[in-house]
């Protein structure tokens, strides 16, 4: 059985290049993971996702549990076979969705969709209002059925505006649940004959002492990697960077570090500069569906009238299918007419942009030119 492994290969300051080995392939870090929440990267086939250079995708336990059900995925032999994707998969535990879909950014007691208990969380489905209960053990069981190469521990993601008392309470509960997840992971065998890694999640909202305490505690446990949760949920960029600066010294050097939910290019650069290895976000496909595309010269809104007659590709030098075959004018027409091909092409381009971007980051670190790349990119991308 091929074991999960992380090798740190090169550093430039705190920026790191590494390699993750999983049963379904290797992943070069820093890495951006396209989001396939419900077992699909929106509008794209698995072959198209692979062709743009993606080495790993993300699925979500909460959504897959509700539909189609992890039992159905298990009948197929796991998520890889269910969606015909033979590269690595990471699954979010569903903790963020349980809480965010329950009370959003309003605060813990905003409504009754979520009831937090010491042994888990009772919540109502955002789809049909049916009642469900997630525990650390049940979340691990579901992720075993899904068969992800990398599973996430169940955590409590407190809102960005949480008061200190609640932030500390949620952090302590996250720590207890982390231990239960490890225990269940070790007890329950892999269902499909390959090794599954488990990452812990450090919390603490924007309180520096809580962030340090959580980073130290989660790092001390027997996890394969450490995620930084509860950021990119509405806090200012400066505050997020301060939190990353705060926790970096307390994160293990020999394990991957994953900043959850971050996908804007400048935010990724800021995090890589602070020693982060892994990222995911729905932004590339979400923006694409609204006609916004990323280039090395900045964002373009193809719905702007000036693109109606623009015969250029989205970005010269981009090797994606959209740029090799179609003009801005044509794609803008498709978006205006709500043609599915339009959002497919913009999504394809944005994800290919992210793969190129991450490869350029890796090369800049290898060549000890990360700061120059970060500065040059920042000067051009607007």
Which residues belong to the active site? 92, 280
Other CB atoms within 10 A of residue 48 CB:
18
Please list the residues that pair with 132 across neighbouring strands. 123
Tokens of 5: 């492994």
**How far from the centroid of its chain's Cα atoms is residue 95's Cα?**
13
DSSP class of residue 181 equals: H
| Contact status, residue 188 vs residue 182, Cβ threshold 8 Å | no
CA dist., res. 113 & res. 115, Å (int): 7
Contacts of 339 (CB under 8 A, 6+ apart): none
Tokens of 378: 């920042």
CA dist., res. 15 & res. 25, Å (int): 23
Tokens of 124: 């109502």
| Contact status, residue 307 vs residue 328, Cβ threshold 8 Å | yes
Alpha-helix runs per DSSP H in the chain: 46-51, 61-66, 70-75, 79-83, 95-103, 136-146, 164-187, 208-220, 237-247, 265-273, 283-289, 321-325, 328-336, 340-366, 370-380
Work out the burial of residue 259: count CB atoms within 10 Å of its CB; fewer than 13 is exposed, 13-18 middle, 19 or more buried: buried
């Amino acid at each position: 059985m091929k074991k999960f492994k992380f090798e740190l290969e090169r550093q430039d300051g705190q920026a790191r290049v590494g390699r993750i080995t999983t049963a379904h392939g290797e992943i070069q870090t820093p890495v951006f993971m396209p989001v396939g929440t419900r077992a699909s990267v929106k509008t794209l086939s698995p072959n198209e996702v692979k062709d743009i250079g993606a080495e790993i995708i993300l699925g979500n336990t909460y959504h897959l549990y509700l539909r189609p059900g992890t039992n159905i995925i298990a009948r197929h032999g796991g998520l890889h076979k269910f969606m015909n994707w033979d590269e690595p998969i990471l699954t979010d535990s569903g903790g963020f969705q349980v809480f965010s879909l329950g009370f959003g950014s309003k605060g813990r007691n905003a409504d009754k969709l979520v009831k937090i208990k010491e042994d888990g969380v009772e919540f109502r489905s955002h789809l049909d209002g049916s009642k469900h209960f997630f525990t650390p053990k049940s979340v691990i069981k579901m992720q075993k059925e899904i068969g992800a190469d990398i599973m996430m521990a169940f955590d409590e993601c407190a809102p960005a505006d949480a008061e200190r008392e609640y932030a500390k309470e949620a952090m302590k509960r996250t720590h207890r649940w982390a231990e239960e997840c490890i225990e269940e992971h070790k007890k329950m065998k892999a269902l499909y004959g390959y090794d599954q890694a488990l990452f812990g999640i450090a919390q603490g909202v924007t309180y520096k002492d809580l962030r340090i305490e959580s980073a130290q505690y989660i790092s001390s446990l027997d996890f394969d990697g450490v995620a930084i949760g509860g950021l990119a949920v509405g806090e200012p960029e400066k505050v997020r960077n301060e939190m990353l600066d705060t926790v970096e010294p307390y994160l293990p050097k020999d394990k991957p570090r994953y900043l959850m939910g971050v996908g804007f290019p400048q935010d990724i650069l800021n995090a890589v500069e602070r020693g982060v290895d892994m990222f995911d976000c729905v932004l590339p496909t979400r923006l694409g569906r609204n006609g916004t595309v990323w280039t090395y010269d900045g964002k373009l809104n193809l719905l702007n009238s000036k693109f109606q007659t623009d015969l250029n590709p989205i970005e010269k030098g981009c090797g994606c299918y959209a740029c090799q075959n179609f003009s801005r004018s044509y794609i803008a027409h498709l978006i205006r007419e709500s043609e599915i091909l339009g959002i497919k092409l913009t999504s394809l381009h944005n994800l290919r942009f992210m793969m190129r971007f991450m490869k350029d980051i890796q090369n800049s670190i290898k060549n000890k030119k990360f700061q120059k790349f970060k500065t040059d990119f920042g000067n051009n991308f607007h």
